[in-house]
Amino acid sequence: MTKIYIPLDMAAVAMGADRLAAAVAEEAARRGQQVEIVRNGSRGMLWLEPLIEVETPAGRVGYGPAKTKDVASLFDAGFLAGGAHPLNIGVVDEHPWMKRQNRFTFVRCGIIDPLSVPEYEAHNGFKGLKRAFEIGSAAVVEEVAKSGLRGRGGAGFPTGIKWKTVADCAPGQKYVVVNADEGDSGTFADRMIMEGDPLALIEGMTICGYAIGGSKGYVYLRSEYPVVAKVFQAAIEKAREAGWLGKNIKGSGFDFDVELRIGAGAYVCGEETSLLESLEGKRGIVRAKPPLPAHVGLFGKPTVVNNVLSMATIPMIMEKGAQHYADLGIGRSRGTMPLQIAGNVKYGGLFEIDFGIPLGEVINDIAGGTRTGRPVKAAQVGGPLGAYVPQSLFHLPFGYEEFAATDSLIGHGGIVVFDDAIDMSWMARFGMEFCAIESCGKCTPCRIGSTRGVETIDKIRNGQDVDKNIELLKDLCHTMKFGSLCALGGFAPYPVESALRHFPEDFRKSALEAAE
């Protein structure tokens, strides 16, 4: 019996993984070959998806990107024994792209069957939770704080402080809420971990519940991720069957359960207070802070809201110890960052590495430059509210403060690369338009400002009073930045201002054309 891995990851499915798995099963049956097909998560080398891996004595040998039309030739080439074939990439663990990483949060993703509790356990799963039960709630909070972990959802708020705030609230109903809204363009790490290692998220939530004294967790997942919903729901059920969720977990006396909820296509519901409103069944309108969700959160109860990656990293931190994690990274950016490399790149995918790697190294070296073969013009880092970073800043080391020092953001670690065909005034317009479409409508600078922003950029693009309108646009950005209640309106100026600052010529094209 040969074990074959074909990812169930949505990106792999988008490239034909489901059809491929069916074709491999069929061909094996036709040839009388005994195979076991495991639907794993993605290894993150997304340009190779669907990537078939075959277990051989030498290790797991990869073939990708594999199409159904390649199946017969793969069998002919003896791929079940790791045979030579044009798609053969060798032992996957030895691939240079894999070897350069420091997989920590993603250590099991793509390796194990995501829905097998025994395999999860065999790969150190639930060790973190067991240790949590041994050392007690207060020590868990302490450990998370010592690790230096900062929320990976964008703002980078220290996770330990958040947990301590909720833990210190009077006993009673408290909630663990996981933000799986991942609406940023260029991000897919939350999706990948939930498809490839969902039990890590469940374990992280359980550790959090234990640490703060809460017995109920919700995962708020965006509706654009149908594959995740299926996999994660199945993982919850597996964990429950195995006694890792529910009453008196493994005889610890601790009760905890997790429920999956699906959003309904509103970007702003990724903002934590809007998310809570949505979970409560209301319009996703942002709440004014304070009170913080840590004090008055879901249904008015103390609530931890954490991003998927923050929560899924917890089991590893608990298992390896805070110091191990704190020792990685630069400055106040501790640990590793799962970078999401996307857009116009040759090698797009998920690349997890310690904080501090220069942006240019990621784009030009790891990502291999643009897919179109044209020169790189800019990269938008940190989603639609992130700045456009020009080549001149590619020396920037990846870290929260390092990026902030140049009016840029790292956000959720998404990197979208553009070649020189891009018109930055168009992207600035798009940024404003996105804000106008997705604004929750609560405050004027965002609700009205974004619409006016689109109009003003249109005028600039038409060559109408360009200088005056650029001044007006800057003024508008200033008002939105400092007058908005939440970061949707408050950060929408980042893409616009950075485009203006680094690519002023793109806003004067029509004026130049007119002058000619």
Site for ligand SF4 in 262-291 (CB under 6 A): 268, 286
Tell me how far, at minimum, the Cβ of 506 lies from ligand SF4, in Å: 26
485 near 445, Cβ under 8 Å?
A: no
Among 81, 155, 234, 512, binds ligand FMN (CB under 6 A): 155
Site string for other proteins, 169-208 (x = CB under 8 A): -------------xxxxxxx--x-----------------
Q: Which helix (H) or strand (E) holds 417?
A: strand 414-419
C-alpha 419, offset from chain centre: 23
Q: Which single residue is written with the structure tokens 């977990």?
A: 249
488 binds ligand SF4 (CB under 6 A): yes
Cα–Cα distance measured from residue 87 to residue 89, given in angstroms and rounded to the nearest whole number: 6
- Based on CB atoms, which residue is closest to ligand SF4, 140 or 485? 485
Using the contact rule CB under 6 A, the part of the chain among 124-132, 229-237, 420-428, 478-486 near ligand SF4 is 478-486
Residues 6+ apart with CB under 8 A from 75: 27, 28, 31, 33
Using the contact rule CB under 6 A, the part of the chain among 211-219, 326-334, 391-399, 481-489 near ligand FMN is 481-489
Q: Which two tokens stand for residue 470?
A: 């650029």
* Cβ neighbours around 360 below 10 Å, total: 16
Cα–Cα distance measured from residue 278 to residue 104, given in angstroms and rounded to the nearest whole number: 32
- Based on CB atoms, which residue is closest to ligand FMN, 363 or 487? 487
Site for other proteins in 353-392 (CB under 8 A): 371-372, 380, 384
Using the contact rule CB under 6 A, the part of the chain among 302-310, 326-334, 361-369, 437-445 near ligand SF4 is 437-445
Cα–Cα distance measured from residue 80 to residue 416, given in angstroms and rounded to the nearest whole number: 37
User: Residue 482: which of ligand SF4, ligand FMN, other proteins, none does it interact with, CB under 5 to 8 A by kind?
Assistant: none
Using the contact rule CB under 6 A, the part of the chain among 23-31, 131-139, 354-362, 480-488 near ligand FMN is 480-488
Longest dimension (CA), the chain: 80
Site for other proteins in 400-439 (CB under 8 A): 414, 416-419, 422, 427, 430, 434, 437-438
Q: In what order do the strands lie in the sheet with 257-262?
A: 257-262, 216-221, 175-180, 303-307
Among 44, 489, 493, 495, binds ligand SF4 (CB under 6 A): 489
Query: Got the DSSP string for 54-73?
Result: EEETTEEEEE-S--GGGHHH
Tell me how far, at minimum, the Cβ of 444 lies from ligand SF4, in Å: 8
What is the contact surface with ligand SF4 in residues (CB under 6 A)?
268, 286, 439-443, 446-447, 484-486, 488-489
